[in-house]
Structure 1
């Protein structure tokens, strides 16, 4: 065994790169916060959109015949307009031969303008009791309605039955609707009509406290004398007949301009107006009826004065908050459809990827496992195995033990990258104990993994170099299997089959599924397409001359394995996958370490792709990666995963606000497709299927974390940050391959 030691003196000052890395590390927290804020903003938009669409529906009555012992008889037997002037409940009736034409559940972008057109044609005003969520969604309709001279009232924000709600919910429904009116038309109103209300004699002990409380705050509650029941769509003639009051009496008449299909209402309204005018009726608003009963303005030309007396100009904070609400809703109204389109695109891309992986992986497996398949003459010459190590005292002995059993002739170079835990001494002792005279230990100052690998490549004695991590163990036949593709002189590098050794924990099991399905199934696909993007650091082999010609392992990116792989493609070398060469690696054992590792991988991959963006214009065989691999990697490893959370976000959104059963079935269908792909990947790798029981939980928890990691990486890339290579804590629990089974 030979030892090469670099000079090591007193502690050196940090290099320029290390100082930049330190500054970048200090910037990571703000970027995490920015990523979290972006996710929070999206969630808030969806929640707002869902809230706007909640509970708005028809006009079915939800309660009849309830006790009303607390309600004054004068109210039960009184008119349809309820006020509390001076703190005393008072009802007002609509004057004889007068119609207060009222409409509920709007505004609607389709039906409300058609109602307004009828009213304008006949010079008839109306009182529209508006749902706040609809006001915020269609402010332009409200502005037209008010500008035309009609009156508006509150019909709650979400069309909820306030009788069963607490005081806080009641006030919130009223306040939010007032804000919506302020933002849409610059007004507030004192009129109120409760959803699912009818005549005053239907007021009961549940609803009375609501009317009393609102009345004491200055609101006028409006009921109906005559209900057209147009929401039932009984036919035009019945709507007209049911809306007609008896014996010349005045009436508060109810129609609907929203809440469903209202074509019968639109057809019945002109006939009704003509009929009532023929009988000598005039039309007014609720405020107009109040003024007339109190001796105010009289009917003139079919209308009355002060038709909008209930309106108040919105000022100050109310006005600005209202405009902010309408603006936020406008953003939600634009965002949700756009995200829906994105969801379709992402869904198609995800399912397309699954289909492509299944088809190409199956073809790859059949091709590489045929009896007659051969790379060429057997490769039997010795190779160099390079093991970069930084503070690997827990694992390095296991690594050397596995290499000692290799069936292929090797030399081993342990490149100690400035370890402070005695890694080189442990490696030397392990080599002596195992009788390995083919081990050299090369010590250097701590300058990073790429530099350690380059040192190993320069020091290697053989033309084929195998690279592995210091926390990885090989099976006895791994090196022999890994180097056989070099029988083909066009092959410049070979990717091995990396497996999770510490898979008995929940986090380990999740990563095991990811490795088998996400990494190795992908590599089969990329191999068949001849555009392998990454040689894994845990197990890869290279022609020494190819690495040196490419300039060695670059320190320009954090993903030196992806960087060198793309460089070899561009130099004209083929990069292939050898599924039978298996390595067992120790995956991160905590969420914090996992985040650090995947963050570095994701960010490093983006760096490598950007560095080699010129491959898109490469010509000839060396341009295949740019033509095929680069678009696939960007689509499947960056774009699709970044937007993939839309599937989960919309699933939750649909479950809460749309259709729970349909959304759940859709999610289960996608999970089923993923299980199918995972099961096939496990079959190809001859893995135990029992780990797939962890997959549903993986989709709910682990996958979300991977999305956040990628989003964090994208934010870092877009803001120009740098990140240094991070060392993960190891436990050494992955022993020799004999102790690890599949």
Structure 2
């Protein structure tokens, strides 16, 4: 990770390639999903009944009263059929992994051949069966890519369905077919205008259409004897019997075929394929171009299927992670709250308890306020800290402000406030300057856009009675929570501080003490060399350094600080971009903690692992989730997809509601939670994507400050339940 440059003005950094990459990835995923949705959800194999039609006015009498093999390739309609005592046996809707091999075995047993009209989507799933059909000497014809009704399909889909099936055949076998059977077709007199138009379009591409003269109706599974009866020739005339090797349970078809072939042989009928029956060569070797195109087509469809399968499993994993996270954070938050209540009860002497009672921390503390162009809120911040019920020394470090921030702080004339001016060096430089001037062992750091409640400092520092504690995180609250953007950030803060931080506290892997409110042992800070300027998230870097040095970092929920949140999407983007990028820098810097023991190991294996999964990997996967959701609404069951989305939303709602309850916050802002999933969530994952790409590209970012609005007021103290 690159080091940041110090300064107060943003440096325009334009990393646009990653948006191109993201767009390309989403397009590829969307294409894969569309392809799979088309192949598996727009049409289905199973019911092979003839599509009813009221009109056959355009169908020539030659077709209606002719033979089952229809040829209109030269503009003149001709028909033909098998000669007497010849059966051109045909099978539709395969290949099927269960029934096609059984049917092939029966054909081989009786030493006969047949014609298999394959569905392209099924052939891609079972290419070995298509190859076996050819190897056994049987014939293959086109039955469309997805078993679509060509009679009702628009021209573009007819082309795609027929050509797509041919591409699949060429890609798998290296051969091309001439015979075509439209799905849902039957005998000649059942051909309607739509089907005839599709037959003509196929003829223009060089196809012969094969209808049937004997429909076994085995797709209805009427019983073996009925199928045999339907197949039985009524005279010596040649026939084209129709059976099915796919589309459902074909056990009756297999049994009836075995018995019927014996009957046909006994009656002197020759059973063969359509091409052999009428004396034509129905298959040819595909050209090199056709084979290349077919292979590419097949592999493209396979890759799309693999991509969808991978995404589906990733969605399952993401769902499991989401549920596990909800259970963990709520469980740990409840446990943290019970522990805090026991300590409070022990300290107040309300009941006997085994919790050790430690004396209150009453020593004065030093509060460091780094400030650069904080004129909008510096006076409210300093006044609120000076009004603390705990004795404080306040050091305001003006870091090269140009808006009179230092003058405003000095104008307050407060006796316990010291204003120090320095050239602009960045926030870490200002914090280190304040640290050098600190008079007390406990140091509180607070941003210049933050105000404290009167009891905040006292509540914040009490856990320092435990000598293992090196830093304490307070509870940051959004002050300007009006409007929907403010409500969304308010929800995020409440959930983050009251669920995630409680989990981090009990798991002893706190990754961040926020810059808005944090308390530190001065010796611990000096031990790690003060505040580092290696990252844009100096608070996260500092906290991780303390953990790696063996110090415990804890959370104090009733130590509240009120801060201004961004009031526009642009300002929010800049703030979160810096936070996320800095967090990635800190994670990379402290990656060695994974292999350490003690507090460092807990940070590495628990804290960094949590951040990696929840704040990096899941957001990176989130755009694909959104694309998949659209896919589900279009191609899958919309009700089921909506139910899954509502389930996810309910998990988020219950987590937020519990966090609000812990923080004594009214639940009213939670009405914005559903809307948050459509705007705020997308903004956050786009921030993560840009941060990750920027970090991987090694682009240097400079520090920049958030716009201030001057909305800070010292709120009244809240009572914790």
Same fold (TM over 0.5): yes
What number of residue pairs does the alignment pair up? 707
Partner in structure 1 of residue 352 of structure 2: none
**What CA deviation, in whole Å up to 9, does each residue of 1:196-219 have, x standing for no partner?**
111121122333222223223322
Structure 1 residue 683, shift from structure 2 partner: 0.7
Structure 1 residue 723, shift from structure 2 partner: 4.1
Cα distance in 1 for partners of 2:217, 2:287 equals: 34
> Secondary structure of 1:473's match?
strand
Structure 1 residue 49, shift from structure 2 partner: 2.3
Determine whether 1:309 maps to 2:282.
yes
Cα distance in 1 for partners of 2:389, 2:236 equals: 107
Partner in structure 1 of residue 192 of structure 2: 204
Please say if residues 500 and 585 of structure 1, whose CA atoms lie closer than 8 Å, have aligned partners that are also in contact.
Answer: yes
The 1:111/1:559 distance shift into structure 2, 3 A limit, reads: farther
Determine whether 1:417 maps to 2:399.
yes
**Pairing 1:254-293 to 2, within 5 Å after superposition:** 254-291=242-279
Structure 1 residue 353, shift from structure 2 partner: 1.4
Structure 1 residue 228, shift from structure 2 partner: 1.3
Structure 1 residue 595, shift from structure 2 partner: 3.3
Cα distance in 2 for partners of 1:261, 1:447 equals: 76
Partner in structure 1 of residue 354 of structure 2: none
**Pairing 1:190-229 to 2, within 5 Å after superposition:** 190-229=178-217
Cα distance in 2 for partners of 1:636, 1:394 equals: 35
Q: Which deviates further from its counterpart, 484-493 or 356-365?
A: 484-493
Structure 1 residue 225, shift from structure 2 partner: 0.8
> Secondary structure of 1:311's match?
strand
Instruction: Select the residue among 88, 91, 113 that pairs with 1:125.
Output: 113
Unaligned runs of 5+ in 1: 1-14, 292-305
Structure 1 residue 437, shift from structure 2 partner: 3.8
Determine whether 1:730 maps to 2:680.
no
Cα distance in 2 for partners of 1:207, 1:658 equals: 28
Structure 1 residue 504, shift from structure 2 partner: 1.9
Structure 1 residue 551, shift from structure 2 partner: 1.4
Partner in structure 2 of residue 344 of structure 1: 316
Please say if residues 9 and 702 of structure 2, whose CA atoms lie closer than 8 Å, have aligned partners that are also in contact.
Answer: no
The 1:17/1:712 distance shift into structure 2, 3 A limit, reads: closer
Please say if residues 7 and 425 of structure 2, whose CA atoms lie closer than 8 Å, have aligned partners that are also in contact.
Answer: no
Structure 1 residue 172, shift from structure 2 partner: 2.1
Structure 1 residue 740, shift from structure 2 partner: 11
The 1:533/1:196 distance shift into structure 2, 3 A limit, reads: same
Cα distance in 2 for partners of 1:616, 1:693 equals: 40
Q: Which deviates further from its counterpart, 461-470 or 707-716?
A: 707-716
Cα distance in 1 for partners of 2:597, 2:248 equals: 60
Structure 1 residue 580, shift from structure 2 partner: 0.9
Q: Which deviates further from its counterpart, 721-730 or 201-210?
A: 721-730
Cα distance in 1 for partners of 2:345, 2:717 equals: 30
Structure 1 residue 546, shift from structure 2 partner: 0.8
Structure 1 residue 733, shift from structure 2 partner: 4.8
Determine whether 1:379 maps to 2:379.
no
> Secondary structure of 2:144's match?
coil
Determine whether 1:364 maps to 2:351.
no
Structure 1 residue 44, shift from structure 2 partner: 3.0
Partner in structure 1 of residue 576 of structure 2: 598
**Pairing 1:660-675 to 2, within 5 Å after superposition:** 660-675=638-653
Please say if residues 94 and 251 of structure 1, whose CA atoms lie closer than 8 Å, have aligned partners that are also in contact.
Answer: yes
Partner in structure 1 of residue 637 of structure 2: 659
Instruction: Select the residue among 275, 285, 303 that pairs with 1:331.
Output: 303
Partner in structure 1 of residue 504 of structure 2: 526
Cα distance in 2 for partners of 1:217, 1:344 equals: 44
The 1:186/1:484 distance shift into structure 2, 3 A limit, reads: same
> Secondary structure of 2:15's match?
helix
Structure 1 residue 574, shift from structure 2 partner: 1.8
**What CA deviation, in whole Å up to 9, does each residue of 1:358-413 have, x standing for no partner?**
11111211221344244733333332222223343433344334334333333333
Please say if residues 239 and 268 of structure 1, whose CA atoms lie closer than 8 Å, have aligned partners that are also in contact.
Answer: yes
Partner in structure 1 of residue 673 of structure 2: 695
Partner in structure 1 of residue 34 of structure 2: 47
Please say if residues 212 and 241 of structure 2, whose CA atoms lie closer than 8 Å, have aligned partners that are also in contact.
Answer: yes
TM-score (ref. length: structure 2): 0.90
Cα distance in 2 for partners of 1:539, 1:661 equals: 45
Please say if residues 99 and 252 of structure 1, whose CA atoms lie closer than 8 Å, have aligned partners that are also in contact.
Answer: yes
The 1:43/1:739 distance shift into structure 2, 3 A limit, reads: farther
The 1:543/1:22 distance shift into structure 2, 3 A limit, reads: closer
> Secondary structure of 1:266's match?
helix
Structure 1 residue 521, shift from structure 2 partner: 0.9
Structure 1 residue 726, shift from structure 2 partner: 4.2
Please say if residues 94 and 100 of structure 1, whose CA atoms lie closer than 8 Å, have aligned partners that are also in contact.
Answer: yes
Structure 1 residue 581, shift from structure 2 partner: 1.3
Cα distance in 2 for partners of 1:20, 1:538 equals: 20
The 1:598/1:16 distance shift into structure 2, 3 A limit, reads: closer
Cα distance in 2 for partners of 1:632, 1:517 equals: 16
Partner in structure 1 of residue 585 of structure 2: 607
Cα distance in 2 for partners of 1:414, 1:689 equals: 37
**What CA deviation, in whole Å up to 9, does each residue of 1:46-81 have, x standing for no partner?**
332222212122134363251212222221111111
> Secondary structure of 2:248's match?
coil
**Pairing 1:191-590 to 2, within 5 Å after superposition:** 191-291=179-279, 308-311=281-284, 313-316=286-289, 318-370=290-342, 371-374=344-347, 376-419=358-401, 422-423=402-403, 425-432=404-411, 434-590=412-568
Partner in structure 2 of residue 153 of structure 1: 141
The 1:462/1:321 distance shift into structure 2, 3 A limit, reads: farther
**What CA deviation, in whole Å up to 9, does each residue of 1:501-542 have, x standing for no partner?**
222232222222111113431111221222222111221111
Cα distance in 1 for partners of 2:634, 2:717 equals: 45
Cα distance in 2 for partners of 1:284, 1:728 equals: 82
Q: RMSD of the alignment, in Å?
A: 3.0
Cα distance in 1 for partners of 2:609, 2:73 equals: 72
Please say if residues 499 and 585 of structure 1, whose CA atoms lie closer than 8 Å, have aligned partners that are also in contact.
Answer: yes
> Secondary structure of 2:559's match?
strand
Please say if residues 380 and 714 of structure 2, whose CA atoms lie closer than 8 Å, have aligned partners that are also in contact.
Answer: no
The 1:446/1:146 distance shift into structure 2, 3 A limit, reads: farther
Partner in structure 1 of residue 350 of structure 2: none
